[in-house]
Amino acid sequence: MKIKLTPELTYLIGFWRKRRSPEGLGIYGEPQQLGLFTKELLDMHITTTEKLISKEDMIYFYNTAYKKFFLEIEKEELERFKYLNEYAANYLAGIFDSIGRIDEKGFVFISKINSQDELLFLRLGFITKRVKDGIIFGKPRVFLAFIKNYVKIYAGHDAFKYVKTKGKNRVMNPHTNSA
């Protein structure tokens, strides 16, 4: 089976990356995250409801081809997502929906970041500051504008009201602050 990388699949891989379950191909998390992951899997016809296994705060299924593909994309993330395009925007939106947050003061934070992840953000031109086990964005509006059209969990957040983008498929250029 030949699996083709699509922007939608990159979102799912980004979402899975930091919440992967210890068994099969799946995630652990809160009901909202489990529901989103399940919906995306079913919408993309990656698996069926009969093959999904659910435990307390975890959902997963077994498919060695997809698991190998997800791991390959993760391993090659610095090469695959080095341009400001729809693939990188979806991947970062998936990571943000999985382990990111926006606090009351408007700080955009992503936790559980390792040095490879930090390098990915820096290579794409996003200004970040390391804090404990995560990063804070120096120019959060630039980052939010880049992922605005692709986030799902945070799509209705008030912070996105202050972010302007032109068109659905336009991505922000963090070097010029324009699309």
Same domain membership, residue 13 and residue 62? yes
Q: Are 47 and 127 in contact (CB under 8 A)?
A: no
Amino acid at 161: K
Domain residues for the domain of 114 are 84-162
Q: What is the pLDDT of residues 56-90, one digit of tens each?
A: 899 999 999 999 999 999 999 999 999 999 999 99
pTM of the model: 0.89
- What residues contact 151, with CB distance under 8 A and at least 6 apart? 93, 96, 97, 160
Q: How confident is the model at residue 169 (pLDDT cuts 50, 70, 90)?
A: very low
Alpha-carbon distance of 47 to 147, in angstroms, equals 26
The answer to the question of residue 136 being in a domain is yes
Contact 65, 3 (CB under 8 A): yes
Residue 31 sits in the same domain as residue 13 = yes
Distance (Å, whole) CA 93 – CA 87: 10
64 with 117, same domain? no
Residue 131 β-bridge partners: 134
**What gap in Å lies between CA 24 and CA 154, rounded to an integer?**
27
Do 122 and 154 belong to one domain? yes
| Domain final residue, candidates 36, 59, 77 | 77
* Any domain includes 139: yes
How many whole angstroms separate alpha carbon 13 and alpha carbon 55?
21
12 and 62 co-located in one domain: yes
Q: What is the mean pLDDT of residues 25-41?
A: 96
Which residue did the predictor score with more confidence, 124 or 163?
124
Decide if pLDDT at 105 tops 60.
Answer: yes
